[in-house]
Structure 1
Amino acid sequence: MIENKFKKLRFAFNLRTSWFSCNAVIMEYQITANQYRKSGSFSYQIRALLSCYINIVLDTHLTHFTHTLTFSYILSLAMAASQVHLQFLILFFCYSYIMCSALTFTHKTRHPGFTIDLIHRDSPNSPLHNPAKTRYEHLSEAFSRSTSRATHFTAASRAASAVQASVVPAGGEYLMNISIGTPPVRVLGIADTGSDLTWTQCKPCVQCYEQKLPIFDPKKSSSYNPVPCGSPTCYTNLASRTCDPDGTCSYYYSYGDKSYTNGVLATEVVTFGPNTPPFPGVSIGCGHENDGTFNEKGSGLIGLGGGGLSLIRQLKPSIGAQFSYCLVPYFETTSASKISFGPKASVNGPGAVSTPLVKKDPSTFYYLTLESIGIGNVTLDYKKQSAHYYTEEGNIIIDSGTTLTLLPKEFYDKLEGELEKVIKGERIQDPEGSMGLCYKTKKDLEVPVITARFAGADVQLKAINTFVRVEEDMVCFAMVPASEVAIFGNLAQINFLVGYDLDEGRVSFKPTDCSKHAV
């Protein structure tokens, strides 16, 4: 019986299974400790346990509790050891434990995180910027993209329970640069908190949209590895997948605007700039067939959602599942928005507030619970004023890729009515028909502070977050009615340091002058 248990332990070790497998066996040993003391193969027992422990203690995924549990058990074995050579072995182990723990701690703190630029697609600093259009035309297009994106959030939410769900929100509003491969090839991608898969166009192209940047050639990268069909990465993280004749995992993603990408799932080295470490083994999509509304100056999409294939989840073992961004006002030319990853993304200090992330399907989206909105002394109860869907926890999605904030119509109508009572100005109709509450003025409009009260976090929104100039003589409310899905958009997040901590399950807000945000 004892020998079988040790075979089980060695089997767990040889397969390099999780620390839990080893500890499950160790717990079994504790139950039969008396049998160990009577066993003639006591030396073998300790050596087997040490072999397992030294391997799991070097695993940087382990907690201090895990180390302590295993360490405590082996010390209990030492108490039963009468042979001198075994006592010496235990002393050697104690020294090894201290050294291994130190190495583990050092490894865990090796990468403090990093910060890079986040570029609004319509900013004059963006390669996608069209100088022939006015800022108001850019804004009008961004508002239209908000409506389109909301439609496809709705479609994705409805399809969450379906195995074949593959429609994800179209695009986003911010861009970031990464590099993939060895040697590294630059990718300018849309940074999307509403998608998981990071992908770029790849050679050979079956159907590729026109791209100014060089198209990635996997044959020229020494670190490119296709993911096999039998891999858990393929069959647990991809809704629409097939098995290629060569046994590799292929994916298919369709976007709400009829754009799509189809290609091979592979692992690659990803880097974020000259001063950041390389991250090997990151799953990406190598798109051989891509078409739709993608811009020729971009080369893919960077998935920052909450699902298993997202960049955030994949970087967790190295730097933790944290990221934050600080968005400067639209059309800012003297400074750029920033996005940080790892410990560097922590949001704390005076003024910081946090609200829980709510786990819902699809796991890609970041759900918060909005309880009410305040205007001065008036509080509008979000849950009581809204349809049944909005009374639940996780009743609003926070998204960097949607410009406007979308609220359920019945609640929006009451909110607009309260604002009309306190804002002094000449109300006019938006000629585009996309905005609800608009005023005619060439000056800054005096508006009240609006407080978005999330569970455990009051976020005070200033005029820059709630009203936007859409014409030279017209200012409009940056919140609009929605039919089903509520979204807290990026205008409402300007000049906030917004942090997502997937390890702790929370989103934090801290009022910040993002044009002066230290990196």
Structure 2
Amino acid sequence: MATICSLPRISHTIVVITLFFFHLGYYIVTATTNIHNIKGGFSAHLIHKNSPKSPLPKQRNNKVSRRLIGPDVLEAPMKLDTNFERIMKFSMGTPPIDIHAITDSGSDLVWTQCEPCNACYKTKFGVFDPRNSSTYKNITCRSGDCRLLGESYTSSLARVCKKEPSTNCVYMYSYADGTYTVGNLGRETISLKSTTGNIVILKDIIFGCGTTNNDTFSTGNEMGVIGLGRGPLSFVSQIAPYVGGRRFSHCLVQDPNLESNIYFGNGSEVLDEGVVTTPLVDHTTFYYVTVSGISIGNDFLPFNSNGTLLKKDNMLIDSGTPFPRLPKDLFDRVVTKLQKAVPLKSVVNKIYGLDTLCFITTTPLELPRIALHFEGGGEVLLSNKVLTAHENGMYCLVFVGGTDDFGYFGGMLQTDLLIGFDLDKNVVSFKPTDCIDYNKNN
């Protein structure tokens, strides 16, 4: 049996497991769909975990970001409020069982807890039992579907499979916050209610049926994860042949009491005036872009101050990590520039264990124009997103500083932006948008 492999943490640094590293394309699964959308795509609601509409209780757990442990992954040891996580509700099996899963663009696998449980965390919604579903299909270790696990399909499983080809396809997934899931791959029918009220039916979706699971910071209600990464097992890749391609977009609202929307396939394109598009850097799972620097007022601060060659994958787009993070050198230069530009007393404070700049004032303040610049041109204006009120009578940057050479475009920068990921064209697009209005009309 395969084992979970990870490197120990070093300071604020990197933890590693290798999954899907050989598969840069997407595997066309044999799912069929019944999509009542004439454009071929569909959209679904995303619910803040602490929203009144959420099925989960209003409980605030501090936790590290949920992300698959993978090669070259920056692991921030900051404590994050779980209300930044968003839930996508769908049903699984026949008869259908409701599943409330955390959406995660930092991993690929769709999984939920399954009976018979060897070790499952408690959930008030129960646990999916494939034995009670007439549409569940087991995946064996000899199946091509099992090989989509990449290096998680280990030599030990291969040896067992050679002797017993009917052995279940065993998967193991580990996340940066200590959450893990172990179980068998299977296929199942997933259905969900679109934002238009129509029912979307997705047959034979590959998913992880987890029988040994641990959610380190569980509220006792999380039922699994729906992976939105770039790998062949992600929800995005699996439904691609039936919705017009590997693309999706989302428009996240600032108000946690309101639903956001996520759009899949045709109809998810980010178009018209004001769109900024930049290439995605090739990666098996994660959404990396290349940032050339940040402008504050009329001054441009290059990502690298020492003249070294610009790292191509220096910014990770991840809505599951709330606070955007900058390398220490760039963060320090941003702090210096803002301290000179804003005539208020300020202090470098700790927020969830990492440095940020706070201005000592209880009155909202106006900052110079701040924009993030991509290599090759194009910028995203950030001025109205970079300050948050702090309980101690201060206004603090949402940016935090780290010690590594790349950063996060976190969820707090993504609100009121229509962000579209087109994996067929290998680009990501940004458009400033009133997401309440957009989600209401699309």
**Following TM superposition, by how much is the alpha carbon of 1:385 offset from its aligned partner in structure 2, in angstroms?**
4.8
Scaled by the length of structure 2, what TM-score is found? 0.80
SS where residue 214 of structure 1 aligns? Answer: coil
Per-residue CA distance 1:147-205 (angstroms, 9 max, x = gap): xx6xx77x622489xxxxxxxxx997221112221222111111000010010011111
SS where residue 198 of structure 2 aligns? Answer: coil
**Following TM superposition, by how much is the alpha carbon of 1:510 offset from its aligned partner in structure 2, in angstroms?**
0.6
Q: In structure 1, what is the Cα distance between the partners aligned to 2:430 and 2:199?
A: 26
- 1:311 corresponds in structure 2 to 235
1:413 aligns with 2:329: no
Structure 1: segments with no counterpart, 5+ residues: 1-58, 62-106, 161-169
- 1:275 corresponds in structure 2 to 198
Cα distance 1:431–1:315, how it changes in 2: closer, same or farther (>3 A)?
A: closer
1:470 aligns with 2:365: no
Per-residue CA distance 1:128-159 (angstroms, 9 max, x = gap): 4536x6xxxx7xx3xx635xx6xx77x62248
Task: From 317, 320, 324, give the equivalent of 1:401.
Answer: 320
- 1:247 corresponds in structure 2 to 167
Q: In structure 1, what is the Cα distance between the partners aligned to 2:133 and 2:88?
A: 22
Q: In structure 1, what is the Cα distance between the partners aligned to 2:73 and 2:256?
A: 38
Task: From 127, 149, 157, give the equivalent of 2:71.
Answer: 157
Q: In structure 2, what is the Cα distance between the partners aligned to 1:60 and 1:309?
A: 9
1:322 aligns with 2:234: no
Task: From 492, 512, 515, give the equivalent of 2:413.
Answer: 492
1:423 aligns with 2:346: no
**Following TM superposition, by how much is the alpha carbon of 1:278 offset from its aligned partner in structure 2, in angstroms?**
0.9
**Following TM superposition, by how much is the alpha carbon of 1:60 offset from its aligned partner in structure 2, in angstroms?**
13
How do 1:189-268 and structure 2 match up within 5 A? 189-241=101-153, 242=157, 246-268=166-188
1:113 aligns with 2:32: no
1:344 aligns with 2:264: no
- 1:23 corresponds in structure 2 to none
Cα distance 1:387–1:121, how it changes in 2: closer, same or farther (>3 A)?
A: farther
**Following TM superposition, by how much is the alpha carbon of 1:407 offset from its aligned partner in structure 2, in angstroms?**
1.2
**Following TM superposition, by how much is the alpha carbon of 1:108 offset from its aligned partner in structure 2, in angstroms?**
13
Please say if residues 355 and 401 of structure 2, whose CA atoms lie closer than 8 Å, have aligned partners that are also in contact.
no
SS where residue 157 of structure 1 aligns? Answer: coil
SS where residue 362 of structure 2 aligns? Answer: coil
- 1:354 corresponds in structure 2 to 277
The amino acid across from 2:213 in the alignment is: N
- 2:357 corresponds in structure 1 to 437
The amino acid across from 1:292 in the alignment is: D
**Following TM superposition, by how much is the alpha carbon of 1:122 offset from its aligned partner in structure 2, in angstroms?**
3.4
**Following TM superposition, by how much is the alpha carbon of 1:239 offset from its aligned partner in structure 2, in angstroms?**
3.1
Indicate the structure with greater helix content.
1
**Following TM superposition, by how much is the alpha carbon of 1:238 offset from its aligned partner in structure 2, in angstroms?**
4.1
**Following TM superposition, by how much is the alpha carbon of 1:509 offset from its aligned partner in structure 2, in angstroms?**
0.5
Q: In structure 2, what is the Cα distance between the partners aligned to 1:221 and 1:383?
A: 55
Please say if residues 386 and 408 of structure 1, whose CA atoms lie closer than 8 Å, have aligned partners that are also in contact.
no
Indicate the structure with greater strand content.
2
User: Which is greater in Rg?
Assistant: 1
SS where residue 241 of structure 2 aligns? Answer: helix
SS where residue 278 of structure 1 aligns? Answer: strand
Per-residue CA distance 1:401-451 (angstroms, 9 max, x = gap): 000111111111111111111123221453655342001222212112211
- 1:127 corresponds in structure 2 to 55
Q: In structure 1, what is the Cα distance between the partners aligned to 2:306 and 2:436?
A: 37
Please say if residues 435 and 476 of structure 1, whose CA atoms lie closer than 8 Å, have aligned partners that are also in contact.
no
Aligned residues: 386
Q: Bigger CA drift: 471-480 or 262-271? A: 471-480
SS where residue 365 of structure 1 aligns? Answer: coil
SS where residue 315 of structure 1 aligns? Answer: helix
Please say if residues 371 and 454 of structure 1, whose CA atoms lie closer than 8 Å, have aligned partners that are also in contact.
yes
Please say if residues 324 and 407 of structure 2, whose CA atoms lie closer than 8 Å, have aligned partners that are also in contact.
yes
- 2:15 corresponds in structure 1 to none
Per-residue CA distance 1:237-279 (angstroms, 9 max, x = gap): 3432446864220111122232211111011112221613211
RMSD after superposition: 2.8
Per-residue CA distance 1:5-29 (angstroms, 9 max, x = gap): xxxxxxxxxxxxxxxxxxxxxxxxx
SS where residue 436 of structure 1 aligns? Answer: strand
Please say if residues 120 and 213 of structure 2, whose CA atoms lie closer than 8 Å, have aligned partners that are also in contact.
yes
Cα distance 1:287–1:353, how it changes in 2: closer, same or farther (>3 A)?
A: same
